[in-house]
Amino acid sequence: MTFPRVLRLLRGACLIAVALSGAMASGSAAMERPARIVSLNMCTDELVLRLAEPARIASVTWLSQDPRNANMAQVARRIPANHGLAEEVLGFKPDLVVAGTYTTRATVSLLGRVGVGVREFGVPRNLAEMKTQIAEMADLLGEPARGQALLAEIEQRLQALAARRVDRPLRAIVLRPSGFTVGRGSLVDEILTRAGLINIAAELGVESYGQIALETVALGGAEILILNETPDGPPSLAHEILHHPVIDRLGGRLKLVALPSRLWTCAGPSVLDAIELLVRAVEEKR
C-alpha cells in the first residue's frame, strides 16, 4: 500500500470519527432535559407546572397566577410571568417553548422567524386525547416517569368514580355565560357521561359549543342544571344570564350545580375534580 493511500485512509477515518462524535454529542444534547421552559398558554402552563420542577420553568403566563382561573396558581406565583410577547420569551433565553394551537399566534410566528422553535399542543376533545397529551408533554420535558405516575393516578380515580355511578343516568345541561352550552364531540360531554349524566345538549344535536335558549333549559326535562361560573369573578353582561329569574325559579324543581370554570377549562387532572363534583350532585339528587 502506497504512502499517499495510507494518508487518505487515515484522513477518512478521522472524518468519520469526528462525524460520529458530533452525532453522539448531538444525541446526548437531545436527550438532556430542558432547563429553561417557557409556556405561553394557560393549559400548557398547568401541565408544565405539574410535570417539571419549578427550578426548570423560566416563565408561565400571568393567567396561571390567578387562583380564580387556574389550578396551579400557588406554584405559578413563584415563577416569572409572561403576557405572550415575543420579546418577553427571548428575554428568558428558553431552551423549550410550549404553546396552545390557538393562542399567541403572532408570537409563535415571530419566534419561528428568529429560530426559536415552539412546540404547540391542541385542545383534547376527550379523556383519551387528554391522556395522550399528558404523556407527550412528559416526554418533551424529560419526565416520562412523572407522566406515567400522573396517568396512573388519573386512571385510578376514574375507576373509583365509575364505581359510584348510578344505574339510571340523570338528565343534565350545562349553561355558560351568554347562554352557551356544550354538546357532542367535547371533553365536557364526556365529563358529564362519566359522572352518570345524560347531556341534553348532545341529544338536541349541539356540536361542541353552541348557544341555547332559556326556554330550552326550562322545558328540556333537566334534572341537573350545571352553571359554569368563576367564583369572585368581575361582573359582566355575559354572566347575567346565569342569574336570570328563570334560572332562580328552576331551582325549585331541579338541582343547580355551580361548577368553577377552572376545573374543566383545560384538559388536565382537574377534570377529575369536575367529575367528582358532578357525581356528588347526582348522589344528592337521588
Query: For the chain, what are the domain ranges?
Result: 37-158, 167-285
Residue 142 has what pLDDT? 97
The domain defined by 167-285 folds into Rossmann fold (3.40.50)
Question: Closest Cα to residue 141, out of 57, 64, 43, 27?
Answer: 57
- Read off the pLDDT of residues 185-230 as tens digits, 9 standing for 90 and up: 899 999 999 999 999 988 888 887 887 777 777 677 888 888 877 6
Return the higher-pLDDT residue of 21 and 133. Answer: 133
For the chain, give the mean pLDDT. 84
CA distance 234 to 118: 33
Give the pLDDT of residue 233.
56
pLDDT tens by residue, 95-153: 999 999 998 999 999 999 999 989 999 999 999 999 999 999 999 999 999 999 999 99
CA neighbor of 221 nearest in space, from 198, 243, 244, 239: 198
Amino acid 119: pLDDT: 97
Do 167-285 and 37-158 fall under one CATH topology?
yes
The model's confidence at residue 7, banded by pLDDT at 50, 70 and 90, is very low
Q: For the chain, give the number of residues.
A: 286
Tell me the C-alpha distance between 185 and 207, whole Å: 6
Superfamily of domain 37-158: Nitrogenase molybdenum iron protein domain (3.40.50.1980)
Whole-Å CA distances, 122 to 78, 181, 193: 26, 21, 22
* Cell (9 digits) for 181: 352550552
pLDDT score of 15: 37
